[in-house]
Chains A and B, each alone.
Chain A
Amino acid sequence: MKFSSFLKDKIIQIFFIIFALATIEIFLLAYHVGNFIRIYIPLIIIGLYTISILIEYFTKRKYYKNTYKILNDLEEKYLITEIIKEPNFTEGKILKEILDEIDKSMHENVNKYKYLTKDYKEYIEMWIHEIKTPIATSKMIIENNKNEITKSIDEELEKIENYVEQALFYARSNTVEKDYYIKKSKLLDIVNEVIRKNKTVLISKKIVVNTHDLEISVNTDSKWVVFILNQIVQNSIKYETSNIEIYSKQGKENICLYIKDNGIGIKANEISRTFDKGFTGTNGRKKNRKSTGIGLYLCKKLCNKLGIGIEINSKENEGTEAILIFPNSSYIDMK
C-alpha cells in the first residue's frame, strides 16, 4: 500500500479540514483573538489528524503486507482465507467476511465437480468391466469356431480391447487418489506379457523381437507398466519397424528399460511435442495410421504418477528409442 494512494483516499477529509481551519481562522481574526490561540488551534488539529492518519496507515499497511506475503508463499492461493488473521478494522472485517463467503461457495462448487468427476470415473470403470464380459465371450466363440472370417473379427476385437484398456487408464490417470499398488515386479515378466499381447500382429508382420538383460526387478505397479510398455510397442509396430529390441541397464540410481525400433522415426522438430495431448505428427497422419495423439500423452501422465521417467529419442528414417527410467527407491524395499 503506497502512502500517496492512501492519502488520495483521504483527499475529501483533508480538503474539509483545510476548509474548516480556514473558516475558523477568519472568525478568530474577525473577533481579534490572540496570536497564541490562532496558531495553537490549527497546529493541534493538523497535528492530531496527521497522527491519526499515520496510525491508520501503518495498521492497514502492516495487515495487507502480511496478507500479501502469505499469499505469495502459498502454493494453493485459494487457501488464503484459512490462514489470514482477523483484521481489527471494520473494512478489513467486511472484506474477510466476503472472502469467507466466496471461499465457501467456491468449495461447494469445486466439490460438485469433484463429485461429478469421481462419479464419471466410477461409471467408466464399471462400464469397462461390463464390456469385458462380451469381449471375452466373443473371443471364446471365435476360439470355438476358428476360420478366416472369425480370425479377421478377432483382429478387430483385439483393437477394441486396446481402446477399452486405454479408456480405463485414461479415467485412472485423471484422478488424484492413489489407484495403483507398488510391489516388486520382474521386468522380464512385464516385457514378456506385452510381447505376448501383441504376438498375432508381430508374427504376421514378421517383426523380429529381441529381448535381453531383463532378469531384474523394479518396484512398481506391473499392470500400469504393462499398459505403458504396450503403448510404446504398439507405436513401434504402427510406425513400420521390422525389429524391436528390449533390454535393461542398471545405473547407480535407477534402472533403465530401453525399447528400440528401426521404424520410420520422428521428425527432429516434432520430438519435443510427442507427449502432448492430441499431437499426431506428420507421420501419424500419413497412410491411414489413425494416430489419436493419446497413447504417449497417457504414458507420460501415468509415468508421472508412478514416479517413472520416460524419454523418447529418434532419428527420422532410422528408428526410435523409448526409455523408461525406474528410480531405485529403497524405501519401498523396506516395507
Chain B
Amino acid sequence: MQKILIVEDDEKLKNELKIFLLHNGYEAQTLNKFDNMVEEIFHINPDLLLLDINLPEADGEYICREVRKQSNVPIIIITSRDNEIDELVCINYGADHYVTKPFNIQILLAKIASLLKRSNTKNSQDKMYEKEFTINLSNSTLSKDNKTIELTKNELKILKYLTERRGKIVSRDEIMDFLWESNSFIDDNTLTVNITRLRNKLEELNLKELLETKRGQGYILK
C-alpha cells in the first residue's frame, strides 16, 4: 500500500483527509508536531506528500524547497490562496501539483493517482489485465484471446471505471459524475447509448453476461 503523508494543521481537515485516503486504498499518515517537519518527513519517508502552505512553525514553501533538495517525492500543495502568482511560486519551489481549498475531492484523488503512477513505474497502468479480458488504455482497445475491439473514448472511460470497481454496484449518477469530471459532458440518453454499445462490444467477445443492469440501482461488472 502506498503511503501518503498529510501535513496540515487544521485538525478536522487532517483527520477527514486521512479517513478519505484510507477509504480509497492508501495508507495515510499525519504529522502531529510541526517543529521539526523536514526531518519528520524524511523519517516517515512517504510515497507522496500532501502539504498545506500555511503552517504554524515554518511555511509550506520552505518545507517544499527543503524536501525537494534531497528527495524526488511527489508533492501536492494545498492552499487557500488562489492566484496565478502563488501557483507559480509553488511550482518553482518544486511542487508537482497545486490544489486550492475547497478542493474538489475527486480531482485531488486523480492527481494523487497520476503522480503515484508516474513515480512508481512498476505499477504502470497502460493495460488493465483481468481474468477474462484486457483493456489497453493507450490505444483504447478491449481484447480477449486474439480478438481485439476498439472502444470509443467514453466507452473506455466507463469500462475502466466499472473494472476498477468490479463486483460492486455502480450507480448511473456515479458514472455520470466520473465522466463529467473527466470532461465528457454527456447527458442521460447518451450514457444509455454508450452502455448499450459497450454491452454489444462485450457480446462480440462473448462477455455479455459480465455487465449486468441492476434495476433502480445501476450497473455491475461481475
Interface of A with B (CB < 8 Å)?
Answer: 128-130, 132-133, 135-141, 143-144, 157, 161, 179-181, 183, 192, 195-196, 199, 202-203, 206, 208-211, 221-223
Contact = CB atoms under 8 A, between A and B. Distances in A.
Nearest to B105: A143
A242 B83 CA distance: 33
Contacts of B13: 133, 136-137, 140
11 contacts: A128-B80, A133-B13, A136-B102, A139-B105, A143-B105, A144-B16, A144-B19, A195-B185, A196-B104, A210-B185, A223-B82
Contacts of B105: 139-140, 143
Contacts of A221: 84
B20 interface: yes
Contacts of B80: 128-130, 132-133, 136
Nearest to B11: A137
List the 5 closest pairs (A to B, CB-CB), nearest first: A140-B16, A181-B84, A136-B102, A132-B80, A209-B185
Given A135-B101, A196-B183, A143 B20 contact: yes
B10 interface: yes
Contacts of A130: 80
A222 B102 CA distance: 18
A99 B85 CA distance: 43
B168 to A, nearest CB: 14
Nearest to B107: A196
Contact of B20 (A140, A196, A210): A140
B101 A136 contact: yes
A247 to B, nearest CB: 13
Given A196-B183, A221-B84, 6 more contacts: A141-B12, A143-B16, A144-B20, A180-B83, A203-B176, A203-B180
A196 B176 contact: no
A161 B177 contact: no
A192 B82 CA distance: 18
A143 B101 CA distance: 15
Question: What is the predominant secondary structure among interface residues of chain A facing chain B?
Answer: helix
Given A135-B102, A206-B188, A129 B180 contact: no
B187 A208 contact: yes
Interface in B10-26: 10, 12-13, 16-17, 19-20, 23
A237 B185 CA distance: 15
B44 interface: no
B177 A203 contact: yes
B209 to A, nearest CB: 30
B173 interface: yes
B180 A141 contact: no
B23 A144 contact: yes
B102 A181 contact: no
A137 B185 CA distance: 28
B177 to A, nearest CB: 7
A245 B183 CA distance: 15
Contacts of A206: 187-188
Nearest to B176: A203
Given A196-B181, A206-B188, A211-B185, A137 B84 contact: no
A136 B84 contact: no
Given A179-B83, A199-B180, A133 B17 contact: no
Interface string B44-83: 0000000000000000000000000000000000001111
Contacts of A135: 101-102
Contacts of A210: 185
Contact of A181 (B16, B83, B101, B180): B83
B129 interface: no
A211 B10 CA distance: 39
Nearest to B17: A140
